[in-house]
Amino acid sequence: MNVLLRVLSPARRRWALILALALLLAIVVCGLLAPYLAPHDPNLVDFAHKLEGPSSDYPLGTDQLGRCLLSRLLYGTQVSLGLALLIVSSCLVLGLAIGFLAGYAGGIVDSLVMRACDAILAFPSLILAISLIAVWGAGWKQMAVALIIVQTVYYARFVRGLVNQLKQQTYIVAARVSGTSPFRMMSRHIVPNLLPPLLVVVSLEIGWVIMDISALSFVGLGVQAPMAEWGAMINEGKSFIRSHPRLMIAPGAMIFILVALLNVVGDAVGERKGAGSPLRKKAKTSGLLETANKEVSHER
Amino acid sequence: MSLLVAERLSKTYHASGWFRRQTAEGSAISNLSFTLEEGTCLGILGESGAGKSTLGRMVLGLLPPDEGRLTFRGEDLYPKGRRTRRSWRRDIQVVFQDSYSAVNPRMTIRQIISEPLRNYERQSAQEERRTVAELLELVGLAADDMLKRPSQMSGGQLQRVNIARAIALKPKLIVLDEPVSSLDMIVQKQILHHLRALKEKYGLSYLLISHDVMAVHYLADRVALLEKGTLVDTVDASEMFESGHPTFRAMMQAAGVE
Ligand SMILES: Nc1ncnc2c1ncn2[C@@H]1O[C@H](COP(=O)(O)OP(=O)(O)OP(=O)(O)O)[C@@H](O)[C@H]1O
Ligand SMILES: [Mg+2]
């Protein structure tokens, strides 16, 4: 997706961004309005209509239990996006707190926190999440907690790196000399500088988390039947891949489209913030975004 | 009583981390002593890496020396034991070399200059605006400039903003770490002129850290030569060109004075 964006001229890139945002908004609205838009109850089992093709009554047909595919996709949007937002925002809050503490305090606190993070980072994140779920049992709550634990570490490290860089900025030193207290230092100088790069990370992360949720639900560790979730739907549809491929293709396409749109937007946000400010050239504000991008690409 | 007294200061930087390198580290400052009299400017002249900025950070209270004592108006800057309230904090201010990186790019000029005022004084919005306007005029800027952001100013203008922030609290001592080195010749002259005028007007004292022979000659009353972390020669500014010290001579030659 990124490559695709880079070959476009800046004007077209802007249109691509606007289009992506519009589509994203449309998906969010559809998800929120699922109760009104969905033609059927997503969990209503009706064997009389099982595995039917598209019709006026069932626009995308029905699955092996006779449930309306379109309705399940619509409700699935709520599940995927809602869970992803819950996970990412929890990670953001926890990561900010932990990373700030480690970065600002430095010394032993920093060492201890970072060693703990390294221990978690030593495992590939999805495998660690799977192990945690294996201990706690499958289910969306367990999955959410496992993903939060695994992901927060990246946020904490990222924030700590940014805080460490910021701490050395001359203007932070100058503020200290002029008597600025640690609390004001945080609220006036550090947090405002952390938010833009964090926003970029978050917009890219949501897409990844949606993939993780789908993957875990696909293998049966995350969202459980009968709740409509795209990864779980692919799993249920896999027995019918030859006779009724749309049962897998439809939720697969939703995941692909949503993640692709989120990536386009996240990328564009990163680019704008990176090149937009004239100060970057003059004052070398600190390469925070370069770090942001590096950390994000390290992550996967 | 002298304003600032440094006695046998030493500082060595250590590699941090769990696996310290065992190689010997060079010391940044060793066995350095000087006194700075109230109302005067002491120039610290030294080449790159001599330890000038390290000394500046120690005087600002940001970097404890490994050994030695720094006393400001008779008070130890780094008292042993529990941290006491630092009454000298507002009396020692700073101007750094790079005017752009010394200000938060997100703030307006007014916010930048009023930051020290807000930390120590309770002023109404109106009083604050008047104070900031006065400070801007003192350093040769217009009161309207307080609405601008750093990106809308030149390096020289922004250095004036930095000076305005440094004098906002009417400190006793200002550490000037290469205050004009990143500016062009004409702007350098103007800024040095302002600094001298402010010193006379408020009886300020300066610790001027620089590798610029002419700037030190213009602003300083006494000049100390810093070499490999220690002071090797101290003379009156008026006599610095007569000094026989080889490093002095080399620096002057490089600056084209001789
Ligand atoms: N944070 C640091 N950690 C380790 N070593 C440092 C640190 N800061 C400075 N040094 C070392 O201490 C010595 C003195 O540095 P300092 O910055 O005081 O020099 P300077 O005289 O200000 O030089 P310049 O004119 O280039 O600014 C140098 O050898 C430098 O490499
Ligand atoms: Mg220096």
What is the rounded distance in angstroms from the CA atom of residue A46 to the CA atom of residue A65? 6
**pLDDT reading at B113 higher than 80:** yes
A59 CA: distance to closest CA in chain B (Å): 52
What residues in B contact A180, CB-CB < 8 Å? 115, 119
Return the pLDDT at B258: 64
**pLDDT reading at A290 higher than 60:** no
Convert the pLDDT of each residue in A61-74 to its tens digit. Answer: 999 999 999 999 99
Ligand 1 center to residue B109 CA distance, Å?
A: 30
Return the pLDDT at B52: 94
Residue of chain A nearest B154, judged by CA positions = A282
Residue of chain A nearest B59, judged by CA positions = A177
Ligand 1 center to residue A90 CA distance, Å?
A: 41
**Peptide bond preceding A226 in cis form (omega within 30 of 0):** yes
Ligand 2 center to residue B53 CA distance, Å?
A: 4
What is the rounded distance in angstroms from the CA atom of residue A52 to the CA atom of residue A67? 10
Ligand 2 center to residue B165 CA distance, Å?
A: 21
Tokens of A166: 């910021």
Which CATH number goes with the domain that contains B34?
3.40.50.300
Q: Per the CB < 8 Å rule, is B100 touching A279?
A: yes
What residues in A contact B101, CB-CB < 8 Å? 169-171, 283-284
Identify whether the C-beta of residue A153 lies closer than 8 Å to the C-beta of residue A117.
yes
Strand ranges inside B51-192, DSSP E: 67-72, 75-76, 92-95, 173-177
Q: Which of the four pLDDT bands, split at 50, 70 and 90, describes residue A276?
A: very low
Q: Which residues line ligand 1 (CB under 6 A)?
A: B 13, 28, 46, 48-54, 211
Residue for token pair 């800027």? B141
Q: Per the CB < 8 Å rule, is A184 touching B92?
A: no
CB count, 10 Å around CB of A181? 11
Q: Per the CB < 8 Å rule, is B90 touching A179?
A: yes
Q: What is the mean pLDDT of chain B?
A: 90
Ligand 1 center to residue B194 CA distance, Å?
A: 28
Q: Any chain A CB within 8 A of the CB of B129? A: no
Identify whether the C-beta of residue B169 lies closer than 8 Å to the C-beta of residue B114.
no
Which of A177, A191, A286, A288 is best to mutate for the B interface (most B CBs within 10 A)?
Answer: A177
Residue for token pair 């550090």? A190
Identify whether the C-beta of residue B32 lies closer than 8 Å to the C-beta of residue B231.
yes
Number of domains in chain A: 1
Task: Count Cβ atoms within 10 A of the Cβ of residue B51 and give its class: 0-12 exposed, 13-18 middle, 19 or more buried.
Answer: buried
**Phi, psi (5° rounding) for residue A248?**
-95, -40
What is the rounded distance in angstroms from the CA atom of residue B91 to the CA atom of residue B60? 10
Identify whether the C-beta of residue B27 lies closer than 8 Å to the C-beta of residue B65.
no
The closest CB to that of A283, out of B100, B107, B115, belongs to B100
Q: Any chain A CB within 8 A of the CB of B59? A: no
Tokens of B183: 């500016």
Return the pLDDT at A281: 32
What is the rounded distance in angstroms from the CA atom of residue B84 to the CA atom of residue B87? 9
Q: Per the CB < 8 Å rule, is A174 touching B162?
A: yes
Q: Which range of residues forms the domain containing residue A246?
A: 85-300
The SS3 assignment for B179 reads coil
Model ipTM? 0.90
Q: Per the CB < 8 Å rule, is A179 touching B104?
A: no
Residues of A with CB under 8 A from a CB of B: 111, 169-171, 173-181, 184, 188-189, 192-193, 277-279, 282-285
* Domain-located, residue A170: yes
Q: Which of the four pLDDT bands, split at 50, 70 and 90, describes residue A279?
A: very low
Find the mean pLDDT for residues B94-115: 95
Tokens of A94: 């926890």
B67-72, strands of its sheet edge to edge: B27-36, B4-12, B67-72, B75-76
Identify whether the C-beta of residue A171 lies closer than 8 Å to the C-beta of residue A294.
no
Tokens of A90: 């929890």
Return the pLDDT at B82: 63
* Domain-located, residue A242: yes
Q: Which range of residues forms the domain containing residue B99?
A: 2-16+25-255
The closest CB to that of B116, out of A178, A283, A284, belongs to A178
Number of domains in chain B: 1
Can you give the length of chain A in residues?
Answer: 300
CB count, 10 Å around CB of B17? 8
What is the rounded distance in angstroms from the CA atom of residue B4 to the CA atom of residue B35? 6
What residues in B contact A169, CB-CB < 8 Å? 101
* Domain-located, residue A34: no
Which CATH number goes with the domain that contains A256?
1.10.3720.10
Q: Per the CB < 8 Å rule, is B119 touching A181?
A: yes
Tokens of A84: 């992803």
Q: What is the mean pLDDT of chain A?
A: 85
Hey, whose CA ends up nearest to atom 13 of ligand 1? B28
Say how far residue A289 (Cα) sits from the centre of its chain.
18
Convert the pLDDT of each residue in A167-199 to its tens digit. Answer: 888 999 999 999 998 888 888 898 888 888 888
CA angle (A264, A268, A272) in 5-degree steps: 180
Query: What is the value of pTM for the model shown?
Result: 0.74
Strand ranges inside B132-200, DSSP E: 173-177
Residue type, A148: I
Q: Cα-Cα-Cα-Cα dihedral of A283, A289, A292, A294, to 10°?
A: -90
What residues in B contact A107, CB-CB < 8 Å? none
The SS3 assignment for A14 reads helix
Tokens of A295: 């950390």
User: Minimal CA–CA distance to B62: which of B94, B25, B38, B84?
Assistant: B94
Q: Per the CB < 8 Å rule, is A178 touching B18?
A: no
